[in-house]
Amino acid sequence: MNLILLGPPGAGKGTQAARLVERHGMRQLSTGDMLRAAVAAQTPIGIEAKAIMDRGEFVSDGIVSALIDAELLAMGPEVGAIFDGYPRTAAQAEQLDEILAKHGRRLDRVIELEVDEDELVRRIVGRFACATCGTGYHDSFKRPVTAGVCDKCAGSEFVRRKDDNEQTVRTRMSEYRAKTAPIMPLYEARGIVARIDGMAPIEQVTDALEAIVAAIPGSA
Ligand code: AMP
């Protein structure tokens, strides 16, 4: 199974992808996560990408497609892929077609999480994560049960993404509207698009996603 999760930043793609990984043994391929790892490791790609990411603009198509290609190469052909935050431009969508063909894979569904932008800004600007295990939290919606202590691993250090501030979030949303939303018609023409109300409670979004996945032939 190969799925694309699309939606503006903060739509819940990462959360839902993690659930698909748990339930179906798929792999989450998040170009945002890969780029953040490259920035942290100060690789040449990371050094080039850092300032672009801090502004909320897009890293070049060639770089992100090469990251995806390398990940797929390292994965067994039997492991399903969830593309999270990729493709984000028409050029990346074309490159993904070529990469999938090269690896003998076929795109099953493109699932778009539909959301309200102002509400999203509220969601994103409050989010933080445990520095040790990565569990996600939010200032208003999901604080650790004991303040300052991670529910999952009892870690006491937390991190916030540098690009989770209002101005950068607005730029990331306008990038999504201008460059990413226009790739939907391409996938619509292939009859593989499904849409979910991303503003619904997390569990409800997961249920809707599971229903879409269950309807894919051979998904069981
Ligand atoms: P994300 O975690 O998906 O919100 O990505 C964080 C940042 O990484 C984005 O704001 C971009 O600067 C960069 N990025 C991630 N994925 C892509 C992509 N597919 N194309 C271009 N830039 C990307």
pLDDT tens-digit map of 88-120:
999 999 999 999 999 999 999 999 999 988 888
For the cut 70, the answer to whether the pLDDT of residue 51 exceeds it is yes
Report pLDDT for 104. Answer: 95
Q: Is the pLDDT of residue 211 over 80?
A: yes
The answer on pLDDT for 218 being more than 90 is no
- Closest by CA position to 12, among listed 107, 120, 170, 109: 120
pLDDT at residue 174 is higher than 70: yes
Helical pair 44-55 and 61-74, crossing angle rounded to 10 deg? 120
Sheet holding 127-130, edge to edge: 136-138, 127-130, 158-159
Residue positions annotated with a catalytic role:
13, 88, 127, 161, 172
- Ligand 1 pocket (Cβ < 6 Å) reads 9, 31-32, 35, 52-53, 56-59, 64, 85-86, 88, 92, 163, 172
Task: Calculate mean pLDDT across residues 28-53.
Answer: 95
Rounded to the nearest whole angstrom, what is the distance from the C-alpha of residue 151 to the centroid of ligand 1?
28
Q: What is the distance between the alpha carbons of residues 103 and 140, in angstroms, rounded to a whole number?
A: 43
Share of the chain above pLDDT 90, in %: 81
pTM of this prediction? 0.85
Position 163 pLDDT exceeds 90 = no
Mean pLDDT for the stretch of residues 200-215: 95
Residue burial 61-78, b: 16+ Cβ < 10 Å; e: rest: bebbbebbbebbeebeee
